[in-house]
Structure 1
Amino acid sequence: MRVSRLISLVLLLQSGGSRTAAELAAQLEVSERTIYRDILALSAAGVPVYAEQGRAGGYRLLDGYRTRLNGLSRAEAEALFLSGLPGPARDMGLGEALAAAELKVTAALPGPLRAAAAQGRQRFHLDAPGWFRDPQPPPFLAELARAVWEDRVAELTYAGRGGEVHRTAEPLGLVLKHGVWYVVARPADTGNAGTVPGGGTGHGARTGPVEPRTYRVDRIRAVTVTDVRFARDDAFDLPSFWQRRAAEFERAMLRDTVTVRLSPAGLRALRYAVEAVAYREAVDGAGPPGADGWVTVALPVESVPVAYTQLLALGPEVEAVAPAELRALLAAAAERTAALYRR
């Protein structure tokens, strides 16, 4: 266990910069005292790690020092190759880069572990698109990926609900959700231009936070990646933003509420009939079961017609209480169904 931790410690220091004992302890989930002991062990083993004093000090490796990837376990090597996601990487125009990186990592691995990549792909495959979807990537995905990697402003033509619109945007990240690609971008800060390292013009730091927007890549009709670079906000976290925005979108769609009674079987099946956020809110707010075991819940829904379609799947395990319109729709459906079996 300690050997694995020492290798992780070296790789953290090798990634560059100076790190305090507190930072290293937090990343490795150990105490600072353990970090001090591990640093001494690395120094005794000949690893050129030294301490910098002062407010901005910490531990770092001698410039130019590199270690080979010879401390991976078999499980770690297999997980490394499984994380490559060759399909999405190929869609973004990174297929060759990914293959080259895997080849270099494989060459650095000890002989017994070099079969990890082939064995992993023989056993696991990620099929990201949903059923009955076009597996071809959107036309401008590679251009957007380049803008994201290089922090370049892009001119977008987007097919919105009211027709085509043009946006000057700073692409912050790409998200693949159920086979659909989205680009998260904020409006370009055209009034805050400056210089960028290496020459040329760019967008400087913003004077205030700007909420990014989300665009479906398959609705983008044209992309021009400019030579203008923008300053990325280091505090922006793409997974956190996407999780929050997705939850907000799901909840915003649920603009109405209906009241229903559910049998124990109906309550178990409800999670498969409605949106996850609607199910969670209904269950969290449910009262205690009655004498018959049924519970009454307030269920967030998009509309009464949508609720009717969803609740039909529960059959006799659900009873609509309100509104009267939903109750009438389900009652009429039940009568028509019963009539079919009375013939």
Structure 2
Amino acid sequence: MRVSRLISLVLLLQAGGVRTAAELAEQLEVSERTIYRDILALSAAGVPVYAEQGRAGGYRLLDGYRTRLNGLSRAEAEALFLSGLPGPARDMGLGEALATAELKVSAALPDALRSASGRARQRFHLDAPGWFRDAEPPPLLGALARAVWEDRVVTLAYAGKAGEVTRSVAPLGLVLKNGVWYLVGRVGADARTYRVDRVRAATPTEERFARDDGFDLAAFWVARAAEFERALLAETVTVRLSPAGLRLLRMSVEAIAYRAAAEGAGPPDAEGWVTVALPVESVPVAYSQLLALGPDVEVLDPPELRAMVAGAAERTAALYRR
């Protein structure tokens, strides 16, 4: 464990600049006392770590010092090659750069670990797009990726719900979710999300924008996705579910809706059925979702939905009475 931490410490220092013990401790999730001991261990091993005194002081490596990647274990080397996503990288126009980078990393690895790339690819493959989706990337994905890399403001023509609109956007990042690409961009002081396949034009400007060092793309996306899911499920219906119906519900509704229903389920009755409050997008959407459960669900409320499901059951029964 300590060897892995020492390698991580060297790589952090190798990234450049002066790092305080507090910064290093936070990034490695250890105490400052542990950092002090690790710095002494590195110095004793011949790694040229220097301490700079003063308010802006901290630790740094001797200029020009580089460590070879010979401290990697086989598991770490194989995980390194799994971290690359060749499909999405290719879609953004980075396929050649990724291939070249992997070749350089492979060349730097010891002979015993050079097979890591092949072993990982033989055993794992990430197929990012969802089923029945067009695997072709959106036409303007490459142009938007370049704008993201260059911190360049772009003028977007976007097909929104109210029709096509034009916006001047500072592109902060790209996210691939279930086979769909999204652009996270700043418009004024607000961060907004755009589906890339709805971008009709993306014209780069000469203007560069300054990034907020505190902006975390992953954290923003997690928060925005959760907010979107909560806003989408704006209504609630009450249903009774058989044990089989409760299991089938997981495959019929959104994960957040299933969790809410399962966690709030009442005690089972004598037949094992439970009553749940199910968050749904709308009554028509709930109707299509609950029909998949057949006789393992009974709608209790609202009356409108109960009548719709009962009508579907009657029409289905009539078909089989012919």
When normalised by structure 2's length, the TM-score is 0.94
Matched residue, 1:299: 278
1:295-343 CA distance string (max 9 Å, x none): 2221111221211111111122211101111111222222333344445
- How far apart, CA to CA, are the structure 2 residues paired with 1:121 and 1:106? 14
Matched residue, 2:248: 269
1:18-76 CA distance string (max 9 Å, x none): 22223322322333322222111111111110112233322111222111111111111
Please give the root-mean-square deviation of Cα atoms over the aligned residues, in Å.
1.6
One-letter amino acid of the structure 2 residue matched with residue 183 of structure 1: L
SS in 2 for 1:7: helix
Describe how 1:154-233 pairs up with structure 2 within 5 A: 154-187=154-187, 189=188, 210-233=189-212
Unaligned runs of at least 5 residues, structure 2: none
- How far apart, CA to CA, are the structure 2 residues paired with 1:25 and 1:154? 39
Matched residue, 2:268: 289
Describe how 1:90-101 pairs up with structure 2 within 5 A: 90-101=90-101
Equivalenced residues, count: 322
Matched residue, 1:11: 11
Matched residue, 2:22: 22
Q: Structure 1 residue 169: deviation in Å?
A: 0.6
Q: Structure 1 residue 236: deviation in Å?
A: 1.1
Q: Structure 1 residue 145: deviation in Å?
A: 0.6
Q: Structure 1 residue 238: deviation in Å?
A: 0.9
Q: Does 1:117 align with 2:117?
A: yes
One-letter amino acid of the structure 2 residue matched with residue 280 of structure 1: R
- Of 291, 298, 311, the residue aligned with 1:332 is 311
One-letter amino acid of the structure 2 residue matched with residue 300 of structure 1: P
Q: Does 1:250 align with 2:229?
A: yes
1:223-261 CA distance string (max 9 Å, x none): 111221101111111111111111222222222221111
- How far apart, CA to CA, are the structure 2 residues paired with 1:223 and 1:233? 23
Q: Structure 1 residue 170: deviation in Å?
A: 0.1
Q: Does 1:309 align with 2:309?
A: no
Matched residue, 1:79: 79
Matched residue, 1:237: 216
Moved more, 106-115 or 258-267: 258-267
Matched residue, 2:238: 259
- How far apart, CA to CA, are the structure 1 residues paired with 2:22 and 2:147? 35
One-letter amino acid of the structure 1 residue matched with residue 3 of structure 2: V
- How far apart, CA to CA, are the structure 1 residues paired with 2:106 and 2:52? 35
- How far apart, CA to CA, are the structure 2 residues paired with 1:118 and 1:98? 15
Unaligned runs of at least 5 residues, structure 1: 190-209
Q: Does 1:51 align with 2:30?
A: no
Q: Structure 1 residue 271: deviation in Å?
A: 1.5
When normalised by structure 1's length, the TM-score is 0.89
Matched residue, 2:63: 63
One-letter amino acid of the structure 2 residue matched with residue 232 of structure 1: R
- How far apart, CA to CA, are the structure 1 residues paired with 2:268 and 2:133? 42
One-letter amino acid of the structure 1 residue matched with residue 181 of structure 2: W
1:149-205 CA distance string (max 9 Å, x none): 111101111122333211111000001111111101111x5xxxxxxxxxxxxxxxx
- How far apart, CA to CA, are the structure 1 residues paired with 2:276 and 2:124? 41
- How far apart, CA to CA, are the structure 2 residues paired with 1:163 and 1:334? 39
- How far apart, CA to CA, are the structure 2 residues paired with 1:311 and 1:240? 33
Moved more, 281-290 or 311-320: 281-290
Moved more, 277-286 or 175-184: 277-286
